[in-house]
Amino acid sequence: MILIDIIMTAIGYSSSIALAAAGITLIYMATGTFNFAHASMTAWGFYIVFAFHKVFFKGLGNPYMYFPIAMLFSGMLGVISYYFINRWLLKKGADMTTLMMSTLGIDLVFFAFINMFADFLTYNYKINARLIVLKMEDIILGKIAGFPLRAITLVSIIMVIAIVAILQYILNRTKFGIALRMTIENPSLAAILGINPDLIYLASWFIGGALAGLGGAILSLVYSGTPSIGNVVIVPEFAGSIVGGLYSIFGSLLGGYLIGMSEYIVINLIGTYVSRNLVVYEPLIPLIAMAVTLLVYPRGLGGIDWSKVWAKLRGKKES
């Protein structure tokens, strides 16, 4: 069944969206900033894996070797964004709109540099860096119903689980995590207690950027892409963050999976069985999900008291 192939690819795609959505949520929780440059950070993660695997090391090893470099690079983009722009606006007491619009300017700069980087690779290494296809470089683990099971399907899930475990440990078991949560809840009190909010904000931007870079690295083995790949994922990334809840990192991971799976599966089924002409309406799916969430339950999945939900379900089963 073609549905099996679609689902396997959707898992990798939704893992990418989930990680990037978690990064958006973390930055928003820490600094109150909607980071519109996040999709460009994802695009840079996408391009870093391509550049190192296909250009700089000429296909040496496999693309997974360069995932940490993609994370580090995009994390540093987050540091640059905070240290040179966001930090000073926060010190001046800028409102949410100003903070948000400043990241739009950052996004334009990052996007310009991606195009310059693509041209650099094209003209100096004689390789088409404006149309990236790395999917064929992935490892084939076997077949399911006649369709190849690519490593990214399993690796992406493992990476998300690992990120959840690491974040859970950092946020709840380390001094940094306690300081982060305290700074998010009350920056003034945190400063009085000797916590440096500036350092916490910087770390949040680095981690958020790194998550975007990892999302882009995963996406490089799922999608073919161009320097404009960020424009493709910006809507589902923000939709995942909002559906998951802007004050819940783990909720945003769940929201990212929900948006990614529904978007990819629905649009591919429509394209396969109805008409390929309707594929251009793909962004409508996350936009509708985002609008419905904001209208019906603005707190998102992270704001749901799941213990009460499970209690009600148990009560119905018993009755």
pLDDT exceeds cutoff 70 at 243:
yes
- End-to-end, the C-alpha distance of the chain in Å comes to 39
| Alpha-carbon span 221 to 229, nearest angstrom | 13
Tokens representing 112 are 């310009």
**Mean pLDDT, rounded, for 55-74:** 92
> Which domain, by its residues, includes 272?
2-318
Q: Determine which of 33-37, 76-80, 256-260, 266-270 has the lowest per-residue pLDDT on average.
A: 266-270
| CATH number of 97's domain | 1.10.3470
pLDDT, averaged across the chain: 91
Provide the domain count of the chain.
Answer: 1
Percent of the chain residues topping a pLDDT of 90: 67
pLDDT exceeds cutoff 80 at 309:
no
pLDDT exceeds cutoff 70 at 255:
yes
pLDDT tens-digit map of 121-165: 999 998 999 999 899 999 999 998 888 999 999 999 999 999 999
Using 50, 70 and 90 to split pLDDT, how confident is the model at 317? low
User: pTM of the full predicted structure?
Assistant: 0.94
